[in-house]
């Protein structure tokens, strides 16, 4: 599987010459997830033949503020997309992944930078909190507050809390989870719904359920349990 992803990526580099990206129809966040899978592959198998290639791709997509906000993704840059790359940086930090392309930076610093930019976007003016899906107002979906976005933020905060021991991160993780339950996106039976529209103050919940969103909250909750049980 990893070999197939790496081979596809190498072919894209020949055609596109933009490290870290796959050609259409693959989205930017999917490239971030693919890079993350190769980071995990290297750690789990000890096969590090792709490490420099993967590290180069991740670093090339860091963009503005060292926070995975490349200018060429502005037209569709969502908080969830940005957080996907931050999760990859966290995996690199947790697994001791190659720093050959990082210079004087650390993998965890990139994830912290993403967290800091997203804290600034926490929107208490509608729905009593939560992150919007899209970062920029001119993008379709800016009014949407969803569990993919807020679940990613929750998981990122939990992972940072576990790695650093900084209670600021665990407090934000708790805040994000509580908001998700208070607004009705997570039920008492732990059903995780898709999202809601901030333009009507999240009065109506979209009851679609995605396994991805459920997985984000499940992993984050497991990490938070691990922190408080130590």
User: Is 217 in the same domain as 145?
Assistant: yes
- pLDDT attached to residue 1: 62
pLDDT digits (tens, 9 = 90+) for 39-68: 999 999 999 999 999 999 999 999 999 999
What is the value of pTM for the model shown?
Answer: 0.95
pLDDT of 95 reads: 97
Residue 138: exposed, middle, or buried by beta-carbon count in 10 A (0-12, 13-18, 19+)?
exposed
Structure confidence at residue 23 (pLDDT): 84
Asked if 71 and 26 sit in the same domain, the reply is: yes
- Mean pLDDT for 96-103 is 93
Residue where one domain finishes, among candidates 59, 86, 113 = 86
Do the beta carbons of residue 133 and residue 144 sit within 8 Å?
yes
128 in the same domain as 223: yes
Least confident of 3-17, 180-194, 208-222: 3-17
- Of the candidates 36, 63, 86, which is a domain's last residue? 86
52 and 145 inside one domain:
no
pLDDT band at 152, cuts 50/70/90?
very high
91 lies in some domain: no
- pLDDT band at residue 102, thresholds of 50, 70 and 90? very high
Same domain membership, residue 144 and residue 56: no
Task: Look at residue 203 and tell me if it is in a domain.
Answer: yes
Residue 230 pLDDT level (bands cut at 50, 70, 90): low
Going by pLDDT thresholds of 50, 70 and 90, the confidence category of residue 84 is very high
For residue 224, is it within any domain?
yes
Domains held by the chain: number: 2
Same domain for 63 and 130: no
Q: Are residues 61 and 166 in the same domain?
A: no
Both 219 and 133 in a single domain? yes
- Which residues span the domain enclosing 82? 1-86
- pLDDT of the residue at 203: 97
Mean pLDDT of 187-206: 98
Give pLDDT, residue 16: 59
The pLDDT value given to residue 133: 98
Burial of 140 (0-12, 13-18, 19+ CB in 10 A): exposed
Report yes or no on 97 lying in a domain. no
Average pLDDT of the chain, as a whole number = 94
Q: What is the mean pLDDT of residues 77-90?
A: 98
| Segment 119-136, tens digit of pLDDT | 999 999 999 999 999 999
In a domain, 18, yes or no: yes
The average pLDDT across 100-126 equals 96
| Same domain (yes/no): 81, 126 | no
Region 201-216: mean pLDDT is 98
My answer on whether 13 and 62 are in the same domain is yes
**Each residue of 162-173: pLDDT tens digit?**
999 999 999 999
Evaluate whether residue 93 is within a structural domain: no
């Amino acid at each position: 599987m990893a070999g197939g992803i790496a081979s596809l990526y190498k072919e894209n580099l020949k055609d596109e010459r933009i490290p870290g990206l796959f050609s259409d129809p693959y989205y930017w966040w999917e490239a971030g997830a693919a890079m993350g899978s190769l980071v995990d592959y290297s750690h789990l198998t000890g096969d590090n033949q792709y490490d420099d290639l993967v590290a180069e791709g991740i670093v090339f997509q860091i963009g503005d503020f060292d926070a995975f906000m490349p200018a060429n993704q502005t037209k569709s840059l969502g908080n969830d997309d940005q957080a996907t790359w931050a999760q990859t940086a966290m995996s690199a930090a947790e697994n001791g992944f190659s720093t050959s392309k990082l210079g004087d930076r650390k993998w965890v610093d990139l994830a912290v930078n993403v967290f800091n930019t997203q804290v600034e976007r926490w929107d208490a003016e509608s729905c009593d909190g939560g992150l919007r899906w899209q970062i920029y107002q001119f993008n379709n979906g800016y009014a949407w507050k969803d569990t993919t976005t807020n679940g990613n933020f929750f998981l990122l905060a939990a992972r940072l809390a576990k790695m650093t021991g900084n209670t600021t991160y665990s407090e934000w993780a708790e805040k994000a989870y509580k908001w998700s339950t208070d607004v009705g996106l997570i039920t008492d039976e732990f059903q995780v719904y898709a999202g809601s529209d901030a333009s009507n103050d999240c009065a109506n919940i979209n009851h679609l359920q995605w396994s991805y969103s459920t997985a984000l909250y499940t992993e984050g909750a497991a990490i938070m349990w691990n922190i408080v049980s130590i």
